[in-house]
């Protein structure tokens, strides 16, 4: 734990006078807060989403097999089944494939963070810095291509080679098609069906559209072919970044402004902000693939509600720990078998709910580990490790007015005497306004409020922080 973190917690303890302010809950009040959301019905219909003209499977079964040869055959068969439009796809992934797949996710996350840096500015884009950031992202994309495709692996090795990250290729292709659909076809644009089957071309197109959208422009028509040709011909990925900077900067000078690209920038910024933590979690999961027996994923529909159910089976005596996106997030660990159900944007509340259902004694556990949490538990609030049962997330995003993020975690304390139910609630409220300048309009945050609540069966502990003119 960093000294600054411990010092900040010590300051919090001092500010709370050694105990976080709390109020007594009325009898039965906790029942209202922690009532679990109704899950997907057992008789829910399988749901097969479509991307363009492609119908996707409703069920995926991914097994861990030590054999690299068997896994390679399985992956090739699964790719064919996917192209045939099968309603169920089963495949095997070896720990060796999984290690390279983790590298693919790491490179993809770094590329997304590069693109997010390009898209972060609301002001005038610096031409050289913009070109350098986009060139870096494209070089990382080439690394992904060489890890995940047969042609890329052969080039990287100087001859015939098996792409150990080949499990990533169909997944990245599906993500690209999904993003294109969400942006009304503006990302992949004029790509032919043949080009869409080429991972390098698809990812390069995505990066170029995102980069130029950040500048409010449309990439020149010939740029993609120039960039893809340089990616294919580069002997070393490290040299590729330097060779792309000048063509990108020159293309920015001659690119035409585009209202479609300007409107696309906000949507892309949201997606780019959400993608890194998701990719980090996937990277963490597959890097521990040798501890997992299988993962089953099902897409379901009931009462016009679409949900995703994933059953994760961890090998006996093992546990899988999900990487924390920030130091203050508790540890999430999986053991045994658990069914995880995601239901987005529920009716009436608009919440996205993630439910954790134990199977045969399995659990998804939330643990408050480390000296900071130990100090908080001792002096501020009675935090308890336990089985996570449900996460509820609600947020609003707007350039002006009140923006709210609301996250509730419901758990059952491990080894608790009496009622084991606990609830951790976090709310972030940002009061925003628009500032009009001679040639731009920007959104500014005038005041923020963060509220933490921790509920036990008989008390609610609260910590609130306000920053801004009134803070």
Assess if residue 139 is contained within a domain.
Answer: yes
Strand 50-51 and strand 386-395: the pairing is unpaired
Question: Is residue 44 situated within a structural domain?
Answer: no
124 DSSP assignment:
P
More confident residue, 79 or 12: 79
How many folded domains does the chain comprise? 2
Instruction: Write out pLDDT tens, residues 420-440.
Output: 999 999 998 888 888 887 766
> Based on the domain organization, do 187 and 98 belong to the same domain?
yes
123 and 234 inside one domain: yes
Co-location of 257 and 158 in the same domain: yes
Residue with tokens 């993500």: 175
The pLDDT value recorded for residue 359 is 93
What pLDDT, on the 0 to 100 scale, is given for residue 52? Answer: 64
What is the DSSP secondary structure assignment for residue 198, as one 8-state letter?
A: -
Q: What is the CA radius of gyration of the chain?
A: 24
pLDDT for res 117: 77
Q: What confidence score (pLDDT) does residue 465 get?
A: 84
Residue 76 lies in a domain: no
Residue 306 lies inside a defined structural domain of this protein? no
Determine the straight-line distance between the first and last CA of the chain, rounded to whole angstroms.
28
* Choice among 22-31, 215-224, 350-359 with the minimum mean pLDDT: 215-224
Q: What is the mean pLDDT of the chain?
A: 81
Do residues 352 and 342 make contact, with C-beta atoms less than 8 angstroms apart? yes
- Closest by Cα among 202, 103, 118 to 156: 103
Q: pLDDT tens for residues 169-202?
A: 777 777 777 667 666 666 677 676 666 667 788 8
> What pLDDT digit, counting tens, does each position of 78-96 carry?
888 888 889 999 999 999 8
Q: Is residue 283 part of a domain?
A: no
Look at residues 272, 297, 330 and tell me which one is the last residue of a structural domain: 272
Residue 469: the pLDDT is: 61
- Chain-centre distance of CA 386, in angstroms? 24
Count CB neighbours of 463 within 10 A: 17
Q: Are residues 125 and 249 in the same domain?
A: yes
Tell me, what's the pLDDT at 311?
94
Neighbours of 289 (CB within 10 A): 20
84 within some domain: no
Whether residues 268 and 333 fall in one domain: no
Tens of pLDDT, residue by residue over 273-293, are 777 888 888 889 899 999 999
38/9 Cα distance (integer angstroms): 37
Residue 295 has pLDDT above 90, yes or no: yes
Query: Are the C-beta atoms of residues 117 and 212 closer than 8 Å to each other?
Result: no
Q: Is a pLDDT exceeding 50 seen at residue 13?
A: no
Same domain, 267 and 333: no
Both 226 and 344 in a single domain? no
Chain segment 298-328, per-residue pLDDT in tens:
988 877 778 889 999 999 999 999 877 666 6
- Is residue 383 a part of any domain in this protein? yes
Q: Note down the domain range covering 16.
A: 3-37+315-467
Whether 7 and 102 share a structural domain: no
Answer with the one of 215, 244, 272 that is the final residue of a domain: 272
Asked if residue 82 is part of any domain, the answer here is no
**Does the CA dihedral 78-362-280-261 come out positive or negative?**
positive
Is the same domain home to 386 and 255? no
- Distances in Å between the alpha carbon of 209 and those of 14, 204, 260, 268, 336? 50, 9, 11, 10, 43
Residue 246 and residue 350 in one domain: no
Say whether both 166 and 266 belong to one domain: yes
Q: Are residues 181 and 246 in the same domain?
A: yes
Q: Tell me the H-state helices in 197-303.
A: 199-214, 223-233, 237-254, 259-287
């Amino acid at each position: 734990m960093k000294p600054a973190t411990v010092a900040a917690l010590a300051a919090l303890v001092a500010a709370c006078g050694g105990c976080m302010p709390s109020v007594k809950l009325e009898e039965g009040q906790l029942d209202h807060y922690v009532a679990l959301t109704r899950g997907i019905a057992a008789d829910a219909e399988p749901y097969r989403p479509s991307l363009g003209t492609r119908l996707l499977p409703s069920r995926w079964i991914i097994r861990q097999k030590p054999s690299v040869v068997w896994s390679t055959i399985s992956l090739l068969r699964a790719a064919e089944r996917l192209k045939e439009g099968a309603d169920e796809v089963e495949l095997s992934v070896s720990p060796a494939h999984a290690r390279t797949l983790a590298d693919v996710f790491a490179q993809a996350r770094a590329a997304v963070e590069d693109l997010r840096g390009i898209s972060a500015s609301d002001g005038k884009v610096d031409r050289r810095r913009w070109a350098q950031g986009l060139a870096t992202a494209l070089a990382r994309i080439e690394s992904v291509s060489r890890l995940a495709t047969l042609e890329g692996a052969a080039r990287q090795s100087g001859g015939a080679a098996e792409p150990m990250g080949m499990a990533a290729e169909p997944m990245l292709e599906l993500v690209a098609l999904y993003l294109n659909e969400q942006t009304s076809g503006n990302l992949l644009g004029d790509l032919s069906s043949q080009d869409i089957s080429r991972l390098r071309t698809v990812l390069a197109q995505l990066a170029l559209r995102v980069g130029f959208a950040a500048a409010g422009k449309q990439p020149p028509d010939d740029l993609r072919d120039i960039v893809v040709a340089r990616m294919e011909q580069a002997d070393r990925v490290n040299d590729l970044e330097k060779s792309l900077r000048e063509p990108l900067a020159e293309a920015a000078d001659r690119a035409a402004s585009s209202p479609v690209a300007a409107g696309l920038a906000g949507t892309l910024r949201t997606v780019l902000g959400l993608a890194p933590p998701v990719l980090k979690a996937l990277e963490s999961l597959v890097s521990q693939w040798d501890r997992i027996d299988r993962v089953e994923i099902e897409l379901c529909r009931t009462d016009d509600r679409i949900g995703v159910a994933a059953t994760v089976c961890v090998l006996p005596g093992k546990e899988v720990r999900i990487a924390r996106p920030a130091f203050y997030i508790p540890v999430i660990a999986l053991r045994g078998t658990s069914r995880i159900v995601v239901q987005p944007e529920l009716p009436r509340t608009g919440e996205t709910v993630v439910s954790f259902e134990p199977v045969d004694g399995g659990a998804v556990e939330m643990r408050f580990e480390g000296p900071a949490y130990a100090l908080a538990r001792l002096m501020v609030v009675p935090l308890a490790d336990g089985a996570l049962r449900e996460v509820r997330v609600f947020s609003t995003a707007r350039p002006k007015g009140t923006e709210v993020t609301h996250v509730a975690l419901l758990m059952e304390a491990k080894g608790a005497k009496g009622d084991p139910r606990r609830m951790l609630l976090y709310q972030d409220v940002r009061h925003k306004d628009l500032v009009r300048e001679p040639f731009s309009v920007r959104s500014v945050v005038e005041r923020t409020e963060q509220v933490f609540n921790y509920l036990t069966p008989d008390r609610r502990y609260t910590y609130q922080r306000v920053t801004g003119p009134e803070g």
